[in-house]
Amino acid sequence: MSRRTELVKRRKALGLSQEAFASAAETDHATVGRWERGEATPQPAYRPKLMRLLKVDADGLDRLLSADQTAGVSSLAVAADSGDPDDMIRRDFLRLLALTGSMAMLPVGAQMPEECFEDFEAMNGHLWQVYQLARTKSAVLPLVRDQLSVLSGACASGLGSKRLCVLSADLFQLAGEVFFDGDRYTDAAQCYMLAMSASREAGAYDLWACALTRHAYVGLYERQHGEASEMLTVAERVALHGDSSLSTRHWVASVQAQAFAGLGALDDCERALERAEHVVELPASSNAGWLRFDGSRLAEERGARYVELGRLDLAEKALTTALRQSPLAKGQSYRRRGAVLTDLAIIGAKRKDVEETLTHAHEAVDLARRSGSGYIARRLQSLRTELAPVVGDARIADLDAEIVALNVS
């Protein structure tokens, strides 16, 4: 990556040395150096602190963290000239998103043949399966781009209907998931916004509610719990107009519990969890790729919420159950197991139990390396703030360094 000269200029303009900036951000000057050289990107836990220190909003921080701009050439042009395939794919992908999102809203002419819709739907479903199974989520982006190009062509030809809006909204959500896993929150939010518009145009309430919920996740990972809670309230209302045989409203409730936990509202969190748990009463359903909440995560979700609320005994019981119910050998995803292990490590750190912390954290770090998942790395970043009471142990210091190393791009 290019050096982030705008970030350096902003820090210096505020009279902050690298050491002073690192101290205020509760990190070390070596990490700040990597941020400024473009070798690493700050994890979500740091973003609120950086916005306060640099006196910018979320968009301003994104601009400071974007690639360097030289001689009036935009960062995307620099990426294109450098021949970086990932950035070139991303640029082309975002262009296709904009085109398809606009054209999907236009009045349509003749209808596409039924078999075309069936082919598109089958391909979208296949891509969600590939995404779920992929260890490195970014590898799915070129496939999604190709499918988006096909849909864009169908929109441009004037052939389509509300079903084409549904297909586009489905694919926009998948694109958002890929970007979110890669820590590209602005890009992910853009995808989710397009998914909201397309699903609203089609009157697809469940798809619409899911897009709202995914957008709320961006706020949750930037610790904007109040704003996320407001969006989830809207998602809840939209979901009530959807198909009651689907798990949409239960998933919304599960994410609401996360927002309430972040706000320290135990009673509201408990009530949301209870609503989410009614998913087990649903008949077996064929939830689409964009809706995967089936109750299999209830134990880990409850455990994670109790960790946030400081109810460690309750959290440990739920998380241990989750770990036992879904071992990797039975198909649990790396990211889900990594999240459970990280929460168990946080419990160990809060209890100043070094062995418990190390056992769970090292396995989570290993899963993050093997999967390349930004999601697990983000969760481990939250563990770092809990290590202070036991940081005197050399093994904990080594663990902290391993977590930091996961953030290097």
* pLDDT tens over the chain, length 409 residues: 467 888 888 888 777 788 778 878 888 777 888 888 887 788 777 888 888 888 887 777 888 887 554 333 333 333 333 344 455 455 655 665 665 555 555 555 455 566 677 878 888 888 898 888 887 787 888 888 888 777 777 666 655 567 788 888 898 899 899 888 877 888 888 889 889 988 988 899 999 999 999 999 998 888 889 999 999 999 999 999 999 999 999 999 999 999 999 999 999 999 999 999 999 898 866 566 888 888 888 898 999 999 999 999 999 999 999 888 765 544 457 878 888 999 999 999 999 999 999 999 999 999 888 877 677 888 888 888 888 888 788 999 899 888 888 864 4
Structure-derived torsion over alpha carbons of residues 175, 177, 182, 186, reported in degrees to the nearest 10: 70
Alpha-carbon distance of 224 to 338, in angstroms, equals 23
Residue 404 CB partners (closer than 8 Å, separation 6+): 31, 384
Q: Is the pTM of this model over 0.85?
A: no
Quickly list H helices, 44-113: 47-54, 58-65, 75-82, 85-103
Residue among 245, 251, 321 nearest 290 (CA): 251
Please report the pLDDT score of residue 154 as a whole number: 67
What pLDDT, on a 0 to 100 scale, did the predictor assign at position 272? 96
Give the 3-state secondary structure of 118-133: HHHHHHHHHHHHHHHH
Residue 110 CB-density burial (10 A; 0-12 exposed, 13-18 middle, 19+ buried): exposed
Q: What residues form DSSP beta bridges with 310?
A: none
Distance CA 315, CA 307 (A): 6
In single-letter form, the type of residue at position 196 comes to M
Say if residues 162 and 202 touch (Cβ distance below 8 Å).
Answer: yes
**Residue among 273, 274, 210 at smallest CA distance from 242:** 210
Position 101 scores a pLDDT of 55
**pLDDT for res 69:** 41
Gap between the Cα atoms of 128 and 43, Å rounded: 26
Task: With H, G, I as helix, E, B as strand and everything else as coil, classify residue 224.
Answer: coil
- What pLDDT does residue 247 have? 93
Under DSSP, is residue 155 helix (H, G, I), strand (E, B) or coil? helix
